[in-house]
Amino acid sequence: MRKLLIATHNLGKLEEMQGYLKELSFEVVSMDDTDIPKEWRVEEVGQTFEGNALIKAIITGKKSGMLTIADDSGVSIDALNGEPGVKSARYAKGTDKQRYEVVLEKMKDVPDEKRTAKFTSVIAVYDPMSDQVTVTYGECLGRITREPKGERGFGYDPIFFADEIGKTYAEATLEEKMRIDHRGRAMQKMYEILKRFP
């Protein structure tokens, strides 16, 4: 069975992506299952989600020699001129909670109707055998809450109210979130592409 490497060190992302790929006829492996050193990281020098997804998939795929998929994602908030965007993972020092608290603080005077935001995911798959790369996209619209709600998930989940389900990502079950969220949408398209892979 051919191996498919998920190029992420983010356990939240890993769990979501593994959920989607388990039906496929690949042996899905994580970075921990490779002999790539734990501290090895791809520097995200891209200015866009697409650029960073491509960089991560291609560099990790070349390093591992495996078919590799990578996601680059983040939340773009209208009232913050699209920030944190591609900088979502490193918007402020510290934990996920500290980062979303910075967002809530910056938005404390923003009225409800101006709290709109969008999560984006770009997923790239790189095949070192053919040297080909393909990308898929997913988005989810919502708004930033005034306080955190829900216990599940990771990152900005507690402060992102997803319009389609009428609750925050952190209040949704994993299945509910994956059905409507940005990564789930990009993964549904990636699933169709991987199904046809040699």
Whether 32 is a known active-site residue: answer: no
Q: Which residue from 36, 92, 102, 154 is in contact with ligand IMP, where contact means CB under 6 A? A: 154
Catalytic residue from among 33, 35, 71, 72: 72
C-alpha gyration radius of the chain: 17
- What residues between 2 and 41 interact with ligand IMP by CB under 6 A? 10
60 makes contact with ligand IMP (CB under 6 A): no
Count of residues near ligand IMP by CB under 6 A: 15
Q: Which residue from 68, 88, 145, 168 is in contact with ligand IMP, where contact means CB under 6 A? A: 88
Stretch that binds ligand IMP, among 18-26, 31-39, 131-139, 155-163 (CB under 6 A): 155-163
Per-residue buried b or exposed e for 121-145, using 16+ beta carbons within 10 Å of the residue's own CB: bbbbbbbbeeeeebbbbbebebbbb
Q: Which residue from 157, 162, 168, 180 is in contact with ligand IMP, where contact means CB under 6 A? A: 157
**Which of 44/197 has CB closer to ligand IMP?**
44
Cα–Cα dist 148/145, whole Å: 7
Residue 88 backbone dihedrals phi, psi, to 5 degrees: -50, -40
74 makes contact with ligand IMP (CB under 6 A): yes
Q: HSE-up of 85 (CA within 13 Å, CB side)?
A: 14
Please give the span between the terminal C-alpha atoms of the chain, in angstroms, as a whole number: 11
CB 159 within 8 A of CB 145: yes
CB 184 within 8 A of CB 178: yes
Least Cβ distance, residue 35 to ligand IMP (angstroms): 22
169 makes contact with ligand IMP (CB under 6 A): yes
Least Cβ distance, residue 180 to ligand IMP (angstroms): 11
Q: Is the Cα torsion angle 60, 36, 90, 163 positive or negative in sign?
A: positive
72 makes contact with ligand IMP (CB under 6 A): yes
183 makes contact with ligand IMP (CB under 6 A): yes
Cα–Cα dist 171/157, whole Å: 8
Binding positions for ligand IMP, rule: CB under 6 A: 10, 44, 72-74, 88-89, 153-157, 169, 181, 183
Q: Which residues are catalytic?
A: 72
